[in-house]
Amino acid sequence: MKQKKNTKQNLLLLGRFLKGSRLLFAAAILSAVVSALADMINPQIIRMTIDNVLGGAEPALPQFILDLVEKAGGFAYLAKHLWIMALAIVIVAVIKAVSQYLFRVMNTKAAETLVKTMRDSIFTHIERLPYAWHGKNRTGDIIQRCTSDMDTLKNFVSEQLTQVFRIVILLILSLVFMLRMDWHLTLIALSLMPVILIYSFLFSRRIEKGFEEADAAEGVLSAMVQENLTGVRVVRAFGRERREMDRFTAQNESYTNLWIRLARVMARYWASADILGSLQVMMVVIFGAVRCINGQLLAGEYIAFISYNSMLIWPIRMLGRMIAEMSKAGVSLDRIAYIMSAEEEKPSEKGLTPPLNKTIEFDHVSFAYEDSPEMLHDISFRLPAGKTLGILGGTGSGKSTLMALLCKLYPLPEAGGTITVGDVDIQDIDTDYLRKNIGMVLQEPFLFSRSLRDNIAITRPEMSLEEIREVAKAACLDDTVMDFSKGYDTFVGERGVTLSGGQKQRAAIARTLAQRTPIMVFDDSLSAVDTETDAKIRAALKSHFAGSSVILISHRITTLAQADTVMVLDKGRIAEMGTPEELAHAGGIYQQIYEIQTGLADPQEGGPHAG
């Protein structure tokens, strides 16, 4: 899950995320600027009080300040009423406090708005990505990108980026005031700045790669946790707890070591920056005191200069933290951009919505997964409307792939044949419309962490309890559910973990029957139910949903016995096709499996297709 970094595209993506929070961030930045200006004013009030009001020195102040002093009664009057100067300091402090409060409120609201926009955009985009993309990317890593990386980006924008303007104001105005008071001392204050800046730049280059490695390791760790939580039954059933704990411990240790190495690098930077910063402050204090004793600097100017120097050195010392956070944010933005730059599933250009209760035809269909040998070879067959097609084949013969192609979960390659429904190429049919009209029960049914009622009615939320029970009866699930203390309000654990395999399959079948689609696909979805239940479900399908075209994929001969036609796949090719009665005596793969499953032959003589 790695792609070449594209800074321009990443910045455009960030701008897109900021669309709904720009004004809020602008208000926060304005408040930060006001707070910075308030910081600039107080040292000048203290300087004027010490040098001009109390010291009687000739004022070297801007004309508008002198005009204000004259209106207040002059320096002599202020010397007798020092409370005025104290009040001025309090007023400036109140302005700063109010601006800081507004900054926090606006910044927090803007940050949460940014996160909401990112969540909505990323989730919506992921929902529209091709099925093949999800197969190539680990769920845990995707979750990590949508949580941890998103928080990192939010924290940088809200805590660092919004402070840039405040820092710029502090730097510029501090330098201006310092130069106006004593340019010699200002040069001394700036003497170590180039060293700090160069060191900060080299530091940022070094840690960026470290953050990228740590983020990738966290994604692996998240994927491992997600897999173990969803597969807890398998872990317990095979006694793999110790093995999984060892794997997790090893990965967690590797992840921890990456952050420890990063912490060492950052600790060296902080220590070095602190030393350089303290050295700079010491130089300003010593040389400033000398110039003050020699009469080259007034006492109030000296105090104000030290205040401005603190405001100057603080942003410089914070530069390392900003660079570190910028590096982390850059890595996180790049990882989020990987998801957002993935091409969404293309809609059908024609977007046709023809009736789908028509003949399904595969015409010379061939298909291969990416970077894999061909899975299907020249498949051709017809399924008339309202008929049942059974598909039999060994593992890896391409049965499920056929159904994935029918639903357009994978695009057919050029020269890969055609699939039509009622003589209309499915590539020309609107994708959402096609999938809504194909009810599919997967080989591994997935149930959401909701009630049974919600799971069955997921495609038709308006269904009444009577309608839900009707489809549940057809799936031979109703009697089982009614034995539960909460009935259809029974909560189903993640991926249906609280239900047995057969119960999950029957719930998934009921969910599909609730769609009442013209095409129904059962991908080995009766394997976990007993033969008697299997027969009941097939009988219900035949009586209640006779108008639908049904595709039954199964390894069980009894499941396929009532199909109108059975197609046998072998290594991606059609090995046999005919009615169950014909194939049972054709001397091929179907007959071998038929005889083994009915006890007419020795299983060890059944060949490789017996399973």
- Does 607 have pLDDT greater than 50? no
- Which residue did the predictor score with more confidence, 603 or 506? 506
Identify whether the C-beta of residue 14 lies closer than 8 Å to the C-beta of residue 25.
no
pLDDT of residue 58: 66
| Residue extents of the structural domains in the chain | 7-340
**pLDDT of the residue at 292:** 85
- Range name among 107-111, 143-147, 160-164, 201-205 with the lowest pLDDT average: 201-205
Cβ pair 358, 426 in contact under 8 A: no
**What is 7-340's CATH number?**
1.20.1560.10
> Predicted confidence band at 364 (pLDDT cuts at 50, 70, 90)?
very high
Report pLDDT for 274. Answer: 77
Distance CA 455, CA 436 (A): 16
Residue 361 has pLDDT above 90, yes or no: yes
Three-state DSSP class for residue 284 = helix
Top mean pLDDT of 90-99, 264-273, 309-318 is at 90-99
For 449, which DSSP code?
S
What pLDDT score does 391 carry? 93
Question: For strand 360-368 and strand 418-421, is the pairing parallel, antiparallel, or unpaired?
Answer: antiparallel
pLDDT for residue 576: 93
Which candidate, 441, 429, 417, places its Cα nearest to that of 519? 441
Please say whether the beta carbons of 85 and 334 come within 8 A: no
Query: Rounded distance, CA 598 to CA 577, Å?
Result: 20
pLDDT at residue number 353: 92
- pLDDT category at 61 given cuts 50, 70, 90 is low
DSSP letter (8 states) at residue 393: E
What tokens were used for 521?
């696909």
Per-residue H/E/C for 533-591: HHHHHHHHHHHHCCCCEEEEECCCHHHHCCCCEEEEEECCEEEEEECHHHHCCCCCHHH
Q: How confident is the model at residue 611 (pLDDT cuts 50, 70, 90)?
A: very low
Single-letter amino acid code for the residue at 156: F
Is residue 584 a contact partner of residue 564, using CB atoms and an 8 Å limit? no
Q: Residue 606 has what pLDDT? A: 45
Who wins on pLDDT, 478 or 204? 478
Residue 8 has pLDDT above 60, yes or no: yes
The string of pLDDT tens digits covering residues 416-437 is 999 999 999 999 999 999 999 9
Q: Taking Cα atoms as reference points, which of 16, 78, 19 lies closest to residue 52?
A: 78
The residue with tokens 């960026």 is: 208
pLDDT at residue 497 greater than cutoff 70 = no
* Contact yes or no for 551/383 (Cβ under 8 A): yes
| CA-atom Rg of the chain in angstroms | 37
Angle between helix axes 531-544 and 465-474 (nearest 10 degrees) is: 120
Confidence band for 603, pLDDT divided at 50, 70 and 90 = very low
The arrangement of strands across the sheet holding 360-368 comes to 374-383, 360-368, 418-421, 424-425
Contact (CB, 8 A) for 212 and 331 = yes
| b/e sequence 397-406, b meaning 16+ C-beta within 10 Å | bbbbbbbbbb
* 3-class state of residue 606 by DSSP: coil
**Confidence (pTM):** 0.71
Burial of 308 (0-12, 13-18, 19+ CB in 10 A): buried
Average pLDDT, the chain: 84
Band (320; pLDDT cuts 50, 70, 90):
low
Average pLDDT, integer, range 242-246: 85
Checking if the pLDDT of 147 tops 80, the result is yes
Residue 69 predicted with pLDDT over 70: yes
Q: What residues does 321 pair with on adjacent strands?
A: none
pLDDT band with cut points at 50, 70 and 90 for residue 233? low
Q: Is the pLDDT of residue 29 over 60?
A: yes
451: three-class secondary structure by DSSP: strand
The per-residue pLDDT for 483 is 87
Report whether pLDDT(548) > 60: yes
**pLDDT (0 to 100) of residue 496:** 59
pLDDT, tens only, 153-172: 998 888 888 877 777 787 88
Secondary structure tally for the chain: helices H, strands E:
23, 10
Distances 197 to 279, 313, 318, 401 between C-alpha atoms, Å: 15, 12, 11, 58
Asked if pLDDT for residue 60 goes beyond 70, the answer is no
pLDDT, one tens digit per residue, over 552-572 is 998 888 888 888 999 999 989
